[in-house]
C-alpha cells in the first residue's frame, strides 16, 4: 500500500510534495509564449488544489481522466494569491495501491444518523397532503439512496458525498429551532419543513458523483431549481385532492429559494415561507463556504486568499467561546 503522503489541507508555500491525489479535472492550455501546459485539479478528502505541468504536458496527461488516482511529486508555489502544485512527476496508480477513502471528500456525519433524521422530519409533518408527498418522493426507487450520496454543489459549499442530505437537514433543524421565535409571523411550519426537504431534491440529477463531482447535461441545461420544482409538481399530480393553493406556495418556495434573479432564482420570494427558506438556505451555504476557505488556509495566515465568490478576504481567526470562563475578581 502506497502511503497517502501530505493532505491538501496541510500544504504550505515552498513545501516539497510527494503524495497521492485524485484527478478531478484536466485541461491542456497554451501560455502566452505559445508553450503548451496542463492544468489539473487534484483532490483528496480535505479539499482541492490546482496543479500545473509544464514539460511534455500533452503526453503526460494523455492517460489521465477525472477519477484517476495519481502519485505526485512537486513543489507548492503561490500564483495570484492561491497555492498550486508545480508538478515535476506524476504517475497513475491502481485503486489497490492506495487507501481510496483518503481521497474522496465525504460528510463527516454518519449516514445512518442523517437518514434517521430525514425520516423523523417526514414523520412529524401533520398536513396529510405534504406528508403523503414527502413519503411518495423519498420512497420512490433510488431517490433516497441518490439523495444520501449526492453533493450539494460542485464548489462553494457541501461539495462532497453526503453534502446534499447534510445541507438539507441543517435547514430543517434551523427551521425547527427558529420557528418558535418567528411563529407570530403566521408561517406554516409543515410548509417550511417540506420546502426545506424538497428545495434541492433536483440535485440528484444535476450532479453525477463517481469519485469526482460533475455537472450532468440535464444539470447544465435545466438546473436543479427547475428540476426540483418539476419533480415535486409531477408527484403532486398523483395525489388526489392536493390543494391548489398549497401546491402553488410549495412550488413557489422551490423556484425562489436562491433569493435573487442574478443568483439563478426564476422568481423572487413573495411569501413569508419562501423568504424564510431562502434566508436560512443562504446562511448555511455562506457559513459552510466561509468555513471551507478558512480550513484550507494555512494556520499562520490571518486572512484567506481573495475569494471571487464572496468578493472579499475571509478573516481566519476565531475568538474562543467564553461561556465557560469565569471573570477574575
pLDDT the model gives residue 17: 94
Give mean pLDDT, residues 75-90: 89
pLDDT the model gives residue 245: 98
Give mean pLDDT, residues 88-110: 90
Which of 54, 61, 128, 117 is closest to 85 using CA atoms? 54
DSSP 8-state code for residue 297: S
Give mean pLDDT, residues 301-313: 87
pLDDT, the chain, mean? 91
pLDDT the model gives residue 301: 84
Partners of residue 17 on adjacent β-strands = 74
| Residue bearing the bigger pLDDT, 269 or 301 | 269
Distances (CA, A) of 83 to 12, 255, 304, 317, 329: 8, 37, 11, 20, 47
| Residue bearing the bigger pLDDT, 29 or 155 | 29
Q: What is the pTM of this model?
A: 0.82
Give mean pLDDT, residues 158-174: 92
Confidence label for 79 from pLDDT (cuts 50, 70 and 90)? confident
Most confident of 158-172, 218-232, 291-305: 218-232
Q: Is the pLDDT of residue 45 over 70?
A: yes
* Secondary element (H or E) of residue 75: strand 69-79
Q: Is the pLDDT of residue 325 over 70?
A: no
20: helix, strand or coil: strand
CA atoms within 13 A on the CB side of 216: 17
pLDDT the model gives residue 210: 75
User: Which range is least confidently modeled, 30-44, 200-214, 311-325?
Assistant: 311-325
User: Which range is least confidently modeled, 10-19, 278-287, 301-310?
Assistant: 301-310
Domains contained in the chain, CATH given: 8-102 (2.40.50.140), 111-291 (1.10.3210)
Q: Is the pLDDT of residue 326 over 60?
A: no
Q: Is the pLDDT of residue 269 over 90?
A: yes
Strands 82-93 and 47-53 come out as parallel
Amino acid at each position: 500500500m502506497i502511503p497517502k503522503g501530505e493532505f491538501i489541507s496541510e500544504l504550505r508555500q515552498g513545501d516539497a510534495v510527494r503524495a497521492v491525489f485524485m484527478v478531478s479535472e484536466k485541461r491542456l492550455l497554451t501560455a502566452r509564449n505559445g508553450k503548451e501546459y496542463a492544468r489539473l485539479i487534484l483532490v483528496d478528502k480535505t479539499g482541492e488544489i490546482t496543479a500545473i505541468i509544464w514539460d511534455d504536458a500533452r503526453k503526460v496527461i494523455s492517460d489521465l481522466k477525472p477519477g484517476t488516482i495519481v502519485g505526485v511529486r512537486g513543489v507548492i508555489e503561490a500564483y495570484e494569491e492561491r497555492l498550486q502544485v508545480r508538478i515535476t512527476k506524476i504517475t497513475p496508480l491502481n485503486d489497490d495501491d492506495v487507501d481510496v477513502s483518503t481521497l474522496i471528500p465525504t460528510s463527516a456525519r454518519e449516514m445512518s444518523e442523517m437518514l434517521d433524521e430525514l425520516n423523523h422530519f417526514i414523520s412529524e409533518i401533520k398536513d396529510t397532503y405534504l406528508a403523503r408527498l414527502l413519503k411518495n418522493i423519498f420512497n420512490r426507487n433510488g431517490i433516497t439512496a441518490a439523495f444520501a450520496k449526492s453533493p450539494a454543489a460542485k464548489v462553494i459549499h457541501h461539495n462532497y458525498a453526503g453534502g446534499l442530505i447534510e445541507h438539507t437537514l441543517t435547514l430543517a433543524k434551523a427551521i425547527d429551532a427558529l420557528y418558535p421565535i418567528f411563529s407570530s409571523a403566521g408561517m406554516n411550519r409543515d410548509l417550511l419543513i417540506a420546502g426545506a426537504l424538497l428545495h434541492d431534491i433536483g440535485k440528484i440529477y444535476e450532479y453525477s458523483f463517481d469519485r469526482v463531482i460533475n455537472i450532468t447535461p440535464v444539470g447544465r441545461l435545466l438546473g436543479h431549481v427547475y428540476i426540483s420544482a418539476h419533480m415535486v409538481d409531477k408527484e403532486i399530480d398523483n395525489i388526489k385532492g392536493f390543494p391548489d393553493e398549497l401546491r402553488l406556495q410549495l412550488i413557489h418556495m422551490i423556484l425562489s429559494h436562491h433569493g435573487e434573479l442574478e443568483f439563478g432564482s426564476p422568481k423572487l420570494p413573495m411569501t413569508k415561507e419562501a423568504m424564510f427558506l431562502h434566508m436560512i438556505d443562504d446562511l448555511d451555504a455562506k457559513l459552510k463556504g466561509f468555513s471551507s476557505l478558512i480550513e484550507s488556509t494555512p494556520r499562520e495566515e490571518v486572512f484567506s486568499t481573495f475569494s471571487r465568490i464572496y468578493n472579499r478576504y475571509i478573516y481566519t481567526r476565531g475568538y474562543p467561546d467564553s461561556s465557560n470562563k469565569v471573570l477574575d475578581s
